[in-house]
Structure 1
């Protein structure tokens, strides 16, 4: 098995990544294709245009295979992970009947509406991509959170007719559910020709993207939390039970069969806000980065690290760049400007806001679960910056670790496939062999004490004072006649 490889698929909100791993978790080759901007033809509607989820996978796969140094026959399988909370409406042949609904689309939070006569199946993004790859109508049970008639205790469709009626989805419009770590089907000749991956290799079920990311980060210990720095930023801890009616967290399926992932409240458009800020400076920042042969993020990190103190000289950011459906008046804001503040302060303040918000969210979750954290693992592109990592360690007051593979959903996909294909007998063994810690950032105690006071005495109180005026502004700007 020394010269065997596994394809890990990570279909995210902003791009599709295809990574080919050896059996020790080392990256052998990879491909990445950015998704097109989502379409919002009217308020509340957010769609992935054309056939973007599939076409991005095709292009990313072609790129990964083009640089793959081994032989095709040495690739033994593929683990498939895609965006959660999407809804895909398919024709009888499994092709799209309409654009894929994004997780930001209000329709995915409501019962299905039968508005397309040619729709034969209602499924997730993983169900759709599984069919495109294998021609099978199978899907992982662990990507069905939200408005689906699923029993989260049994990991199968409900046995009660009234549940199907409440979601307005007949049983015959749903795919067959499989547990993570099982084979969904095999790559068809048509899919192989499109993507360049070998035909007939098994496609293995994983879970929803956050759960697969947690698996790829090696997170199993109950005293460890994962903070996933993605478009949506989430805090998670591993669990063995499925509690109901919780207050400060919700329970998601894990990428390990019959295990769960407890997930805190998160930040909508989390790292998207960092990208938004970077793009505000456009050509100037890009040109400077090209001159120095570094990325724009490295410039911002360097400026903020060298010139901005802890607390950003009083500049604070509230990360409501995408308001929740039940509080549409909420808006993102920066408060506390004075003449000292530069773009480096603004950037530093955004990073601090991410860490402070997630500290509050994770704290209340762990209190409800009666857990005490001893470590946090940070994943996603945002963890590449040492400044972000140190801020998280200082805010949380525990070591913050960064793994060698920090975009860990693709590695989690590969781990799922490795267990399914008997490369490793358990998930624990696969994690031990395939996940490697790269860096550990220890908290600076004086800064941790400061952040605790800032968070408790000031930051957590901001929206209590600003929500009232934002409600008034929302009502003003949403009147029919101005």
Structure 2
């Protein structure tokens, strides 16, 4: 039987949609840039209706590009941004703009929620930050008239699916891969935690129903079907968060496989089979995987990839417009520097997110007249890997029995063999590149397929749908040297955070 699936990724900078056959072959991809609205009041929002229409237009584009018979498309699922939120009214319409994860207006309410931080981490899997809980409190206290009109809160990808299926406000949902960001969830039980809701006077009725990612929420309504170039009645599957879709799409479905998203942000996660929240360090988020009973504890450097771009732009200005700039820089570093660089770099140029240390900034520690720009560039690559090594340290304390088998790397940084070898040696774990570039939309397409019975075993389908291209083994001698640098890195960070917090009024 000829059959096809559609996966959509409602991302921060763009909406991306892919059409796949059931073997995972990509038949067409479409991309539409997002319209992010920066307000004078410090707001960062998106118009939910624009987000909905971006999905409609990109679906139509992939259908037309692929040339497939639209009647052979079996299901659609959407993944999306995870930490922001929006309100939905009783008719199922948007009651608020999408309050982006980049919007920090709710920061005072994150501080308020920290009075119950340990309880929130134990129940929801992460502490209050610029995420759902503080944002809900912001609407309640700063705009009570709007808050009263909100029937339910949810995330944009779920709302778009709701609209495509014609659901009313009381049918608003969220799938369980997002709910760690809520600060109001009992993550293990997949329910809303009435104790935490009560502490902050949030009505349980404002929270959406919680679904599994593969549940069918409805079928495509005729008015949207016509705009998409599809027949009405195609199943709309609940979908999942973008990072959950990424991990699934990369085949990160076996305990002990780690995942490095080497993009604008540098994100590191590990697939595990039990929930052990990080109450001590308050560093790791502990989201649910798409797969029932599994989690992928993660942490990230906000702008890790931007650190590398900064180094290119400022240290290697003659290469700024060279499309092969990073390959050229890596060649020069390999020629001129024998690792380790001897320098510790703190990669948090706009504050540290995991754990929250907002006043920390970038630092080069230990450099001298003997060091060159190549040493500084190497130190930046090392610094990002040292932060990952700290995440692994926390994980090993939480789950001492875990064996890390490999790190699957995606994103722009995955193209650098030099950096992959370096990270493998610093972490002491093999790094692996994969034969696929589009992970989130394939992850969503698999969720859609599983939801309508195309795939009998989602774990095995995900694992078998990608293949290893290159494996970078750790250099054991280099790993021993780098182990001595981790305390240097962590102590430098601790001291510099104290100093920068004390002198935060001077930091620009």
- Aligned to 2:417, which of 361, 386, 389? 386
Could you say which residue in structure 2 is the equivalent of 1:445?
476
Tell me the distance in 2 between the aligned counterparts of 1:37 and 1:310: 41
Q: Distance in 2 between matches of 1:445 and 1:26?
A: 38
Aligned to 2:435: 404
1:363-416 C-alpha deviation (Å, 9 max, x unpaired): 221232111312222233322322332222121122111221244222221222
Give the CA deviation at 1:35.
Answer: 3.0
Give the C-alpha shift of residue 435 in structure 1: 2.4
TM-score by length of 2: 0.81
Tell me the equivalent position of 2:110: none
2:304 corresponds to: 270
Write the distance in 2 (CA, Å) between the matches of 1:342 and 1:200.
63
The one-character-per-residue Cα deviations of 1:115-144 (angstroms, maximum 9, x if unpaired) are 143433311223222223322233313211
Looking at structure 2, the residues matched to 169 and 261 of structure 1 have their Cα atoms a distance apart, in angstroms, of 27
For the 8 Å contact 2:256–2:403, the answer to whether it is kept is: yes
8 Å contact kept, 1:7–1:77:
yes
Q: Is the 8 A contact 2:344 2:383 kept in 1?
A: no
**1:28 equivalent in alignment to 2:57:** no
Q: How far apart, CA to CA, are the structure 2 residues paired with 1:24 and 1:393?
A: 31
Q: How does 1:143-292 map to 2 (within 5 A)?
A: 143-158=178-193, 160=194, 162-196=195-229, 199-244=232-277, 246-248=279-281, 249-257=284-292, 259-275=293-309, 277=311, 285=319, 287-289=321-323
State the match for 1:103 in structure 2.
Answer: 101
Scaled by the length of structure 1, the TM-score of the pair is: 0.85
Instruction: Give SS of 1:145's match.
Output: helix
Contact 1:320 1:332 in 2 (8 A): yes
Task: Note the residue ranges of structure 1 that are not aligned, 5 or more in a row.
Answer: none
1:270-290 alpha-carbon deviations (Å, 9 max, x no partner): 33444455566999646432x
Which whole-Å CA distance do the structure 2 matches of 1:59 and 1:283 have between them? Answer: 39
Instruction: Note the C-alpha offset of 1:427.
Output: 1.7
**Which residue of structure 2 lines up, in the alignment, with residue 77 of structure 1?**
75
Answer yes or no: is 1:39 the counterpart of 2:38: yes
| Structure-2 change in CA distance of 1:175 and 1:50 (3 Å) | closer
CA contact (8 A) 2:180 2:286 kept: no
Task: Specify the SS of the correspondent of 1:77.
Answer: strand
Q: Which whole-Å CA distance do the structure 1 matches of 2:73 and 2:174 have between them?
A: 22
| Counterpart Cα distance in 2 of 1:215 and 1:447 | 32
What is the Cα deviation at residue 79 of structure 1? Answer: 2.4
Change (3 A) 1:182 1:38: same
Aligned CA RMSD, in angstroms, stands at 3.2
Q: Is the 8 A contact 1:147 1:167 kept in 2?
A: no
Distance 1:183 1:309, change over 3 A: farther
- The aligned residue for residue 328 of structure 1 is 358
